[in-house]
Structure 1
Amino acid sequence: MPDDHAPLVVTLALPDDVQDELDALRRRWFPAGRTAVGAHLTLFHAVPGALEGQVRADLEEVAGRGPVAVRLSGVLSLGRGAAYAVDSPDLARRHDELQRAWWAHLTRQDQQRLRAHVTLQNKVEAAVARQTVETLRGGFEPRDVEAPGFDLWRYDGGPWTHLERFTG
């Protein structure tokens, strides 16, 4: 039975090969003991669980339009971490649509404009993060990816519980 009080997390579903590669980078660079959740591109951090039915219906609709064209475009410094920047007008449009549908229920963080990225490292000393960014930039090549859809998760106070993948 769903927990109406546990927030929902919405992420972009990535192709398996890309997911595997990003998970490996996250395991390498993320602080030990903090990698319970694999690499992910979070679209919404805390949608109220009471909206689960609407969230599922809306995700089914936007995913039904087919794969999402995204570009892994560069290495992004997070100050105390590192990420891959993601550019996608298609993803931005779909995010905006979902954001409008859920606006009244969203946290301030989830009401902000999407700055799409996949965090590979976080919560480390700034000097360590700078070195990671430099290393990642040395081997990075931008590439286009077709993301199959969206994943819905429930935040259970630690690791997330995967609820469903929505694809077109």
Structure 2
Amino acid sequence: MTSAPLILTLALDEPATRFFNDLRQQHFPPERNFLAAHLTLFHHLPGTEQVQIEETLTTLAQNQAPLALTVPGLQFLGQGVAYQVSSQELERLHRDLQRQWWAWLTPQDQQKRRPHVTIQNKVRPEVARALHEQLAAGFEPFAATGVGLQLWAYRNGPWEWLRSFAFGG
């Protein structure tokens, strides 16, 4: 168990993970790129509740089929670029977890999630705008799959992987 805040991310299938990581390696400022590409579901769960959180995630993952995802477009973040991710199944899963954990959630985690994978951040707006335009010019929507959940401890910068929960057991 940890006292550090916990972060919950959606694990993506191998082709999507490789695609997003390649772009992140190319476009994320190297001095700030501590993480692989990821889709965050919750930013700040209480580390003191890690055992209960892991029990919930174990049960959920055993009964959850992989999630069909669509990547319908790009999102300009002002100082970066992300790929939007869409899935009614993912929205339902997120809402269910929100209801269970509501008392623990920060205002950020109580909001409706706009799923995305950031491939560039913390750059000058004109650099981000140029990348957004470049990627949008040849963009075609594509499918991906959510294959599980990953739990991390936030360590004031780098994240420490704690455990994965594969869908379908």
| TM-score grouping bracket, smaller chain normalisation | over 0.9
- Partner of 2:140: helix, strand, or coil? coil
- Partner of 2:73: helix, strand, or coil? strand
Matched, 1:79 2:89: no
**Structure 2: which amino acid aligns with 1:80?**
Q
Taking the aligned partners of 1:27 and 1:146, their CA distance within structure 2 comes to 21
Q: Deviations over 1:66-125 (max 9, x none)?
A: 101111111111111100000000000000011111111111111110100001111111
Alpha-carbon shift at residue 8 of structure 1 (Å): 0.5
- Partner of 1:33: helix, strand, or coil? helix
TM-score, reference length from structure 1: 0.94
Alpha-carbon shift at residue 17 of structure 1 (Å): 2.1
Map of 2:48 onto structure 1: 50
Map of 2:12 onto structure 1: 14
The answer to whether the 8 A contact 1:39-1:120 is kept is: yes
- My pick for the range that moved more, 135-144 or 91-100, is 135-144
TM-score, reference length from structure 2: 0.94
Alpha-carbon shift at residue 61 of structure 1 (Å): 2.5
- Aligned runs of 1:1-168 on 2, under 5 Å? 2-3=1-2, 5-64=3-62, 65-167=64-166, 168=168
Alpha-carbon shift at residue 15 of structure 1 (Å): 1.1
Mark the runs of 5 or more structure 1 residues left unpaired by the alignment.
none
- Partner of 1:151: helix, strand, or coil? strand
- Partner of 1:87: helix, strand, or coil? coil
CA RMSD of aligned residues (A): 1.1
* Number of residues of Structure 1 aligned to a counterpart in Structure 2: 166
Alpha-carbon shift at residue 51 of structure 1 (Å): 1.2
Mark the runs of 5 or more structure 2 residues left unpaired by the alignment.
none
Q: Deviations over 1:143-165 (max 9, x none)?
A: 11221111111111121111111
Alpha-carbon shift at residue 139 of structure 1 (Å): 2.8
The answer to whether the 8 A contact 1:62-1:94 is kept is: no
| Displacement over 4 Å in runs of 4+ | none
The answer to whether the 8 A contact 1:152-1:162 is kept is: yes
Sequence identity percentage: 46
